Amino acid sequence: MKHTHLGVYGVVKKNNKILLIKKARGPYANLFDLPGGGIEFGETPEQALIREMAEETGLSVTNYKLSFCDSVCFKHDVTSDGSVEELHHLGIFYDVFVEGDVSIKSDSDGLDSDGALWFDMDSGDFESLTPFAKLVI
């Protein structure tokens, strides 16, 4: 089975840290990813960015800029019967700018995120990152 997913992602960097979420489900479950997700019917990419950032991190995004687009392809198990899905994951990336100390949502959103955190980009812990998070770091 082949599947294509298009999403928007916010890149928030501050003091050599990047804002990530812990994925709660899907092919990236238990990995750290950029906050963001799918564009709902009728939404612009910018509206989806603002909604996803609020849902997953608690941030009210007002200052952002389109940065770049990229994609990754990979295979993953989707069911207990061992069937494999090929996923073509396309991302629209926005630089998101925040001022001063910001409070982030560290608890689950009940959907895709098990909470947001500031990830030290010098930690070297790249095995716990999704492909898009690795790409940005």
Show me where the domains of the chain are located: 2-136
For position 21, what pLDDT does the model report? 96
For position 74, what pLDDT does the model report? 83
Q: Phi, psi at residue 25, to the nearest 5°?
A: -155, 175
Count of beta carbons in the 10 Å neighbourhood of residue 100: 5
pTM of the model: 0.91
For position 48, what pLDDT does the model report? 98
Task: Look at the block and give the residue holding tokens 């916010």.
Answer: 10
For position 93, what pLDDT does the model report? 98
CA angle, 110 as apex, 100 and 45 as ends, to 5°?
A: 60
Cβ-based neighbours of 9, under 8 Å, separated by 6 or more: 34, 35, 36, 49, 91, 92, 93, 94, 132
Single-letter amino acid code for the residue at 24? A
Residues of the chain with pLDDT under 50: none
Q: Which residues pair with 32 in a beta bridge?
A: 22, 129
CB 81 within 8 A of CB 1: no
For position 87, what pLDDT does the model report? 86
- Retrieve residue 96's tokens: 């998101």
For position 110, what pLDDT does the model report? 78
CATH class of 2-136: alpha beta
3-state secondary structure of 104: coil
Q: CA 13 to CA 20: how far, in whole Å?
A: 10
